[in-house]
Amino acid sequence: MATEFPSEQWKDYELIDSGRGMKLERFGGYALARPEPKALWDKELSQKEWDSAAHVVFSPGAGFGKAGKEDSGTWDRLKAMPDQWWIRYRFSSGEAMSLRLGLTSFKHVGVFPEQAANWEYIFRNTSGIAASMGQRPKVLNLFAYTGAASLAARAAGADVTHLDSVRQVVTWAHENQDRSGLQDGIRWVVEDAMKFARREARRGNVYNGIILDPPAYGHGPDGEKWKLDECLFDMMRSVGQILAPQNSFMVLNLYSNGFSAVLGETVVRQALGLKAGTSLDSGELALKDRFGKILPLSIFVRLRR
């Protein structure tokens, strides 16, 4: 199992420091201080240095960190900065995408930088499948949020179905596509992921790539309830029915603190009925701050066939 990090060549993002349940990050020209429960160690920089560096600090509100609730709160401004701004990500092959960031009330800013390693994997495998097939692969991105993974697949030549249950983030993803100059080639769907996957299976539709980044808790557009512990295995069984048997890949990313890469591998093997010896790529996605402290943030399981 591997630990993977964003490339040091990505100059629009940096984890400056971490510790005492916080992380200090730079996105483009702006530095943000946000809660991070996994940062269990001491900070390297003093509080004065954090305050001097940060443009904004996120202050959690009532319900912060409680199971099933978003990390809602407010941003306290220490320096002037816009509510929205743009950063750029360039793939190792040279193609690039633009990502809009924003100060949301849920601590998130529209991008999870540790996912850069998954973006590279998606781009690389989509490109390889396109070359071997001689046509545009079909890629499905479930729980797709603001669409960085969708843009990675599109930039590599895929026809992409981008699905999320929240219309506002689908609109946000569409803005990212327009700003990136990746015209057409993405189908936008506001839908419950489980319902969509099951319907595609009944229709006999298959995809060359399937990407999943499910939340621990969530709701579909019609109030459907999602709880990772209860729904993940059934979700993966549906994925197994719509993933092409050849010239295909799957990426599963999990943020739940109770999950490990071994658990993720076992779920995938059992749900997809993989034969003994089938190789899975699994591990952790992490960030490294200026002082060498490694902050693990999610686990991944990947399949290529």
Q: Is there a single domain that holds both residue 65 and residue 185?
A: no
The answer on 286 and 253 residing in a single domain is yes
Q: Which residue has the higher pLDDT, 7 or 62?
A: 7
Q: Is the pLDDT of residue 1 over 90?
A: no
> Is residue 206 helix, strand or coil?
coil
- Model confidence pLDDT, tens digit, residues 105-118: 989 999 999 999 99
Percent of the chain at pLDDT above 70? 97
User: Which residue range forms the structural domain that includes residue 227?
Assistant: 103-304
Q: Are residues 82 and 108 in the same domain?
A: no
**What residues does 33 pair with on adjacent strands?**
24, 57
With cut-offs at 50, 70 and 90, classify the pLDDT of residue 70: low
Into how many domains does the chain fold?
2
Same domain, 108 and 83: no
Q: What is the pLDDT of residue 67?
A: 46
Same domain, 218 and 293: yes
Q: Look-up: residue for tokens 């057409």? A: 184
pLDDT at 16 > cutoff 90: yes
Residue 101 confidence (pLDDT) above 80: yes
Measured at the CA of 178, the angle between CA 175 and CA 183, to 5 degrees, comes to 135
User: Is the distance from CB of 29 to CB of 138 less than 8 angstroms?
Assistant: no
pLDDT at 236 over 80: yes
CA 72 from chain centre, in angstroms, equals: 19
Residue 282's contacts (CB-CB under 8 Å, 6 or more residues apart) are: 1, 2, 261, 262, 264, 265, 299, 300, 301, 302
Q: CATH number, domain at 268? A: 3.40.50.150
Run of H or E residues at 18: strand 13-19
261, 283 Cβ separation under 8 angstroms = yes
* Same-domain pairing of 72 and 129: no
Name the DSSP letter for residue 162.
Answer: E
**Residues 252, 253, 258, 262, CA torsion sign:** positive
Average pLDDT of every residue of the chain:
94
Q: What is the CATH number of the domain that holds 40?
A: 2.60.40.1180
Structure tokens at 292: 């060498």
In this prediction the pTM is: 0.95
